[in-house]
Amino acid sequence: MLYTINMFLDMFEQYILQNWILILILFAFIVFLISTALIDKKATRRLFFLIGEIFVLSLCVFTEFYFAEDINYRLLRTILMAIRYSASPILLAHVIFTVVKRMRPLVFIPAGVLAIVDIVSIPTGIVFSINDANELVRGPLGYLPFIVAALYCAFLIFILIKRSNKRLLEIIPIALLALSFVSCITFPFIFRADFAQIFCPTIAVALFIYYVFSILLLVKKDALTGLLNRQAYYSETSRAYKDITAIVSIDMNGLKKINDTYGHQAGDEALITLALCFKRSCNVRQSAYRMGGDEFAIVCYKNTEAEVLKLIERINEHVGKTKYTCSIGYCFQKDGHIELDELLKVSDEKMYQNKAEYYKTHQ
């Protein structure tokens, strides 16, 4: 009995010493989430759950390596190894589910299948096993956990970049996430078992930095749609007005009717859907802004008129796949002699002409 108590006390001491930085990061993350009202409640709940997952995983990893030298705990180590190999893709799936808006729970399916395979590996060794010399042996599917984790990482980075506004302040935290996740996949092959013990702090730091940057970006981003806001429009166009060759004005059709008939939540859903269409349509030299209400603008930098028309074509294509419609107008200039306000004015006028034509045929 005394031996068991001393062992647990030693484990507790060793865990604190090895994971103190992780504990501080997770505590700071919790305080951050409690003190800010800028992250919606659903995302906050998911983040709390994610923090809990990271903490539990750190306990499992610590316990696994605490008994690494004792052959008597081989079965326990095998079980904990199955948990560790399963938890990493589940953690990455949960990160995707949390940071990517409107992501469906289907994202957990590959991680769930891998978890089943890892559990089956405990008696069969199909993924891993521990031999009589107390050494890790990879089975026929020994690299499957790393492949699944790599696919999750690639998907997360791809979708975050695709849905971003292609601004440096947005790309930096995405790049940090990418760096941390890539290191989590590649470093185990370089540093072997030593890296497993800093996996959790790596993920925690990356997530914390990502959300700190996200809060900073809220000054420039529209909270509902994730597009750049009106303040960002005036700030950015005033600095680079000489490079602006076109402005595309967009106004959603029928938002008031949706709000009156189905409620403002349905209206918000419509605006979010359209904003996603605009993000998907823009390239790196085209920036989408929510100007207010159901009004949007896309500023085109150093675009030809053909590129602007192609942008409008992409917008119509993406919006056409939804149940919503919008009116569009644009103003293009070649030489940069037209004032920005005049560009926007002409673009708005053409958009309102398009809207008038729409309502003539949709009474």
What stretches of the chain adopt beta strand conformation (E)?
128-130, 136-138, 244-252, 286-292, 295-301, 326-332
Query: Cα separation of 312 and 295, whole Å?
Result: 16
Beta-ladder partners of 300: 246, 286
Compute and round to an integer the Cα radius of gyration of the chain: 26
Instruction: Report pLDDT for 137.
Output: 87
How far, in Å, are 98, 173, 219, 242 from residue 169 at the CA level?
20, 7, 12, 22
Neighbours of 356 (CB within 10 A): 10
Task: Check residue 218 and give its pLDDT.
Answer: 73
Instruction: Name the burial class of residue 41, with classes exposed (0-12), middle (13-18) and buried (19+) by CB atoms within 10 angstroms of its CB.
Output: exposed
Superfamily designation of domain 230-361: Reverse transcriptase/Diguanylate cyclase domain (3.30.70.270)
User: What is the C-alpha separation between 177 and 181, in angstroms, rounded?
Assistant: 6
What is the reported pLDDT for 193?
Answer: 66
Locate the DSSP E strands across 231-325: 244-252, 286-292, 295-301
Residue stretches of the chain with pLDDT short of 50: none
Q: pLDDT at position 363, please?
A: 63
Tokens linked to 287: 């920036």
The closest alpha carbon to 339, from 201, 196, 237, belongs to 237
Measured between alpha carbons, how far is 115 from 109 in angstroms, rounded to an integer? 10
Is the Cβ–Cβ distance between 89 and 51 less than 8 Å?
Answer: no
Residues 210, 225: contact at Cβ < 8 Å? no
* pLDDT tens, position by position, 106-130: 999 999 999 999 999 999 999 988 8
* Cα 176 from Cα 89, distance rounded (Å): 18
Q: Whole-prediction pTM value?
A: 0.73
What angle is formed at CA 330 by the lines to CA 308 and CA 314, rounded to 5 degrees?
Answer: 45
- The reported pLDDT for the residue numbered 83 is 92
Q: Which residues pair with 250 in a beta bridge?
A: 296, 328
**Gap between the Cα atoms of 3 and 11, Å rounded:** 12
**Three-class DSSP category at 97:** helix
- Report how far residue 123's alpha carbon sits from residue 86's, in angstroms, rounded to the nearest whole number: 16
Q: Which amino acid is at 325?
A: T
